[in-house]
Chain A
Amino acid sequence: MLTVTLILLPLALSLIILLLKEQRAIRQFALAGAVVEFGISVVAFIGYKYSGQYNLFYSADWLTGLGVSLKFGMEGISLLLVMLTTFLAPIIILASFNHSYSRPSAFFSLILFMEMAMIGVFTASDGLMFYIFWELALIPAYFICAVWGGNDRIRITFKFFIYTFTGSLFMLLALIYLYFKTPLPHSFDFQWLYAVSLNPAEQIWIFLAFFIAFAIKIPVFPFHTWQPDTYTGTPAAGSMLLAGIMLKMGIYGMIRWMIPICHDAMQQWGGIVLILAITGIVYASLIAVRQSDMKRLMAYSSIAHVGLIAAGVLTMTTYAMQGAVIQMVSHGINIVGLFIVIDLIEQRTGTRTISDLGGIALKAPRLALFFMVILLGSVALPLTNGFVGEFLLLLGIFEYSAIFAAVAGLTIIFSAVYMLWMFQRTMLGKSNAKTENIRDLNRIEMATLIPLVILIFWIGLFPGIFLDMALPDVQQILFFVFDIP
């Protein structure tokens, strides 16, 4: 029931909030709701015990004739990602407080709706439900971007929508094909889908269909071109939702659906897509170096970082998978933190262009400090969350191929280059007309950033809790690959 509550509560909140009129009430209601949601997920977290079966399982018949049922449950990885979602949602809501968006009830309603959809994706254990929530998550993202976005938002959102939607249609095709391969009466239940045996040619097609869907969402090079535009075009909360949580849907899909179903094809062809992912790391890192818009720089850095995660998942080694799980959480935290900082800078100075900024650390040392800490997490400095993930990912990739690891490892150099350069050009140096009178963080802003910073160090110092939680799940998924019962 807990799982269903987690899905239904944000939905209910998002509907109720539409009735509210006053901006203040809307904000507080949204925040309180999201915090309660987080509280519920913490209850789930505390009560979690690995059982080998889906935990906190809920099942109800829906379209029995079609073999579609409402099945939701949480395994280690799902639970971690649900935690990430419920943790980030209040922070994203809080970070939107200092914007006065038009039609605030619709705005916060969409955020909560999106939270619902993403939790649905992470908990669905039925193929069709997974697909439905997957697409549901796209709708609020589309509206947030299209209604409250910046210049050129219509073209950007259109591209974003069509691109990701096209990708998910491939996934739907694959799911339907698998559905008809299940024994009569057909079913979309994920256990049934896992059990489908496919000949090599079918495996390849299914693999390609899944890969395209997930690769666009993640995004893996060269399917990434929707991302930089979308990040720059959406309001801050939109980019946080997209980069912080929505990208993880793709990686989660890879882990939960692609590996168990088409691991044979992956073992055969995974190397080629792995090369794509690793090329993407270097490619995006190099491009990030010369970006002038901070958000766009973040977009490319995000492509590089999630490229590494995708590469790790594609190697199908325990360490890399564990690293991928940890890094999904870490990346969510770091990128949201960075977007918040960028948003704060943009509000104060009215610009995101790096060359227009400088010397912010003089007047706003707290802002600079938080920026530095989150940035260090992002460049994977040991004792921050980024390191644990990247260490495990690179170790896993190294087990797969030392050369791949060496190339993928370039990311630790490049990320230092572009991140530090950005930090230097915005925070350090002499202040100019725009940054001269910049205000330091106030209490609400500190309250937004402090939880992130705490988690950065918590995961960096004691990743054990998170690793232990994901391990049985990862092992079970890898059992499918290596046919160990």
Chain B
Amino acid sequence: MTNLTTIPIHYYLIFCSVLFSIGVFGVLIKRNVLVILMSIELMINSINLLLAAFSTYTNDPAGQIFVFFIMVVAAAEVAIGLAIVVLIYRTTHSIDINILNKLKW
């Protein structure tokens, strides 16, 4: 367990930032709703990782508890998100978000 701290904290920071940015770009660039959902998961997981890392470094278990919470919420989110995606697919026969532009002006 001690060897975890042998990796300096900024490694985690940089790694998580990269993961998070990949998630952001995925959300911005991709048109497939499923991929966007996956990108969001990626962002959430990068935050989770960071939380766990900080929790270890500061010896505060609260961070890890938060991780569990977030995982539960993320699971719920994905469940609802996927349900919506299924409904969208049923009505439009597509999961491209660019055709979901009826709510405008």
Q: Assess A/B contact in the complex (Cβ within 8 A).
A: no
